[in-house]
Structure 1
Amino acid sequence: AARDERPARRRDGRVELPRGAHLVDEGGLTFEVNFSERLDCGLFLDHRETRSMLRELMKRTPGGSFLNLFAYTGTASCYAADGGAGLTTTVDLSRPSLDWARRNMERNGFVGRNHEFIQADVLQWVADRRHEHRYTWDLIFCDVPTFSNSNRMHASSWDVQRDHADLIISVSRLLSRGGCAIFSCNLRSFKPDIETLEKAGVELVDITAKTISEDFSRNPKIHHAYLVTRREDGVTARELGL
Structure 2
Amino acid sequence: MKAYEKTVTVSDKVAVRLKKGHPLFHKDDFHLPADVREGTILRVTDSGGRFLVRGYYGKQNVGQGWVLSTNKDESIDVRFFKGKIETALNKRAGLFVNEETTAFRVLNGEGDGVGGLTIDYYEGFFLVTWYSKGMYSFRSQVLEALTACTAYKGIYEKKRFASEGQYVEDDDFVCGERGQFPLLVKENGMYFAVYLNDGPMTGIFLDQRHVRKQIRDQYAPGARMLNLFSYTGAFSVAAALGGAANTTSVDLANRSRSKTEEQFLINGIAVEDQHIVVMDAFRYLSYAEKNRLEFDLVVLDPPSFARSKKRTFSAAKDYTLLLEKALSVTAPNGIIVASTNAANVERRRFKQFVDQACTAKNCSYELLEEHRLPEDFATSPAYPQGQYLKVLIIRITGKE
TM over 0.5: yes
Question: Which residue of structure 2 aligns with residue 25 of structure 1?
Answer: 186
1:19 Cα offset (Å): 6.9
CA offsets 1:46-91 (integer angstroms, 9 cap, x no match): 10001011112335xx332111110011111111011101211111
The SS at the match of 1:230 is strand
**Aligned Cα root-mean-square deviation (Å):** 2.4
1:207 Cα offset (Å): 4.1
Contact 2:261/2:271, CA 8 A, preserved across alignment: no
Label 1:194 to 1:175 Cα distance change in 2 as closer, same or farther (>3 A): closer
1:218 Cα offset (Å): 2.0
Structure 1, unaligned runs of 5 or more: 1-17, 234-242
1:211 Cα offset (Å): 4.4
Are 1:181 and 2:336 an aligned pair?
yes
Residue identity matched to 1:136: E
Higher mean C-alpha displacement, 28-37 vs 217-226: 217-226
| TM-score with structure 1 setting the length | 0.78
| TM-score with structure 2 setting the length | 0.49
Query: Pick from 356, 371, 389: which aligns with 1:196?
Result: 356
Distance 1:215 1:19 in 2: 26
Higher relative contact order (CA 8 A, sep 6+): 1
Label 1:123 to 1:81 Cα distance change in 2 as closer, same or farther (>3 A): same
Greater radius of gyration (CA):
2
Contact 1:20/1:37, CA 8 A, preserved across alignment: no
CA offsets 1:170-195 (integer angstroms, 9 cap, x no match): 11221122111101111112123355
The SS at the match of 2:376 is helix
Question: Which residue of structure 2 aligns with residue 214 of structure 1?
Answer: 375
Label 1:177 to 1:198 Cα distance change in 2 as closer, same or farther (>3 A): closer
Count of matched residue pairs: 210
Contact 1:23/1:32, CA 8 A, preserved across alignment: yes
Label 1:112 to 1:40 Cα distance change in 2 as closer, same or farther (>3 A): closer
Contact 1:71/1:143, CA 8 A, preserved across alignment: yes
Question: Which residue of structure 1 aligns with residue 269 of structure 2?
Answer: 110
Question: Which residue of structure 2 aligns with residue 52 of structure 1?
Answer: 213
Question: Which residue of structure 2 aligns with residue 232 of structure 1?
Answer: 398
1:212 Cα offset (Å): 2.8
CA offsets 1:193-236 (integer angstroms, 9 cap, x no match): 3552242334374844x343211242662311112333416xxx
The SS at the match of 2:398 is helix
Distance 1:87 1:178 in 2: 17
Percent of aligned pairs with the same amino acid: 25
Contact 2:336/2:393, CA 8 A, preserved across alignment: yes
Question: Which residue of structure 1 aligns with residue 43 of structure 2?
Answer: none
